[in-house]
Amino acid sequence: MRFLLFLVSLPVLVPAADPPLLDRAYQRMYNFDFKSAQGLIDQHIGQQPQDPLGYTTRAASLVFQELDRLSILQTDFFLDDDRIAAKKKLKADPQTRAAFYWAAQQAREHADAALLKNPNDTAALFSLSLSWGLTTDYAAFVEKRQLGSLTYAKTSHSYAKRLIATDKNYGDAYLTTGLSEYLLDSLPFFVKWFVKFEDTKGSKQIAIEQLKFAAKNGRYLGPFARILLAVAALRDKQKPEAKDWLGGLVRDYPENPLLRHELEKLR
C-alpha cells in the first residue's frame, strides 16, 4: 500500500514542448542553416498569416543569407572603413532582393494593421523597427546607398524607442538603439549636423551598454548583439574581449562556419 502511495506521489513527467517556430528559425539562422530556417518560417506564416513577426523573420533570414553570400558578415569587412564606404554596388541576387523587399513590406503592412487595433502591440512595434533596420542594412551594404539608408535607420530607431517606452525590458529593441548610438558616434562631424536620431547622444559607451543589454535579454537578436560586440571590441583593439564573445557564440552555434573561422583568426 505504501509503495502505491509512493508511486501516486511521484511528479508526472511531461515532455518538454518544442520551442516556438520562430525561435527555432532564428536558431537555425544563427547556425547559417538558412534552408531549414525558411521552412520553419513558412510553417509559422501558414499557421499565423496575420502575424508580422513571421514576415519580419523571413526578411531577416533573406538578408543574413545574402550578406553571408557576399562576404559582408566577415569581421574584416566591418574593420575596414574604406570597404564599408565603397560606392561600388555588389552583385545582388535579384530573386533574393525581390523576396526580401516583399517580406519587409508584408511585415510593415501587418504590423500597421495590428497597431490600429492596439497602439502598444509590442510584436508589431518590433516588426516595424526590425524590418526598417534590415532595409537599412540591405540598402547600405548591398546597394551601397549609405546616406540614403540613414532615413531607414532613423525610422527603425524611432519604432525601437517607441517599443522601449511601451516595454523598457524588451531586450531586442536595444540592439537598434545601441546601433544608433554607435553609428552616430562614428559619423564624421559635418554629417552629424544633418543626422539626428531621437534621444541619441552618439556615445560609444551608451552604445556598448545597450548592446550588452540586448545580448543578455534579446529573444531573437541577442546573438546578433553579441556578434556586434565582438566587432566593436576588435575595432577598439580589444582582442581578448572579442575572443570571449566569439567563443560563446561558437559554443552556442557550433554549425556556423563563419564564427569558427573568425575565432580561429584570433588565436
pLDDT digits (tens, 9 = 90+) for 228-257: 999 999 999 999 999 999 999 999 999 999
Counting Cβ atoms within 10 Å, is residue 252 exposed (0-12), middle (13-18) or buried (19+)? Answer: middle
* pLDDT value at residue 181: 86
pLDDT digits (tens, 9 = 90+) for 63-102: 999 999 998 888 776 666 655 556 566 788 999 999 999 9
Q: What is the DSSP letter of 74?
A: S
pLDDT at 184 over 70: yes
- Is 74 within a domain? yes
- Is 103 within a domain? yes
pTM here is 0.87
Residue type for position 147? L
- Is 124 within a domain? yes
Whole-angstrom Cα distance, residue 141 to residue 90?
8
* pLDDT value at residue 239: 94
Please give the average per-residue pLDDT across 131-142, as a whole number: 94
- Is 7 within a domain? no
Please provide residue 183's backbone torsions phi and psi, each rounded to the nearest 5 degrees.
Answer: -65, -45
Domains identified in the chain, total number: 1
pLDDT at 202 over 70: no
* pLDDT value at residue 5: 40
- Is 29 within a domain? no
pLDDT at 173 over 90: yes
pLDDT digits (tens, 9 = 90+) for 13-25: 444 467 899 999 9
- Is 54 within a domain? yes
Q: How confident is the model at residue 9 (pLDDT cuts 50, 70, 90)?
A: very low
Whole domain around residue 122: which residue ranges?
A: 35-167
Q: How confident is the model at residue 2 (pLDDT cuts 50, 70, 90)?
A: very low
Residues 6+ apart with CB under 8 A from 139: 145, 148, 149, 152
Contact of 127 with 107, CB cutoff 8 Å: yes
Shortest CA distance to 263 belongs to which of 237, 235, 227?
227
- Is 136 within a domain? yes
- Is 255 within a domain? no
Contact of 99 with 62, CB cutoff 8 Å: yes
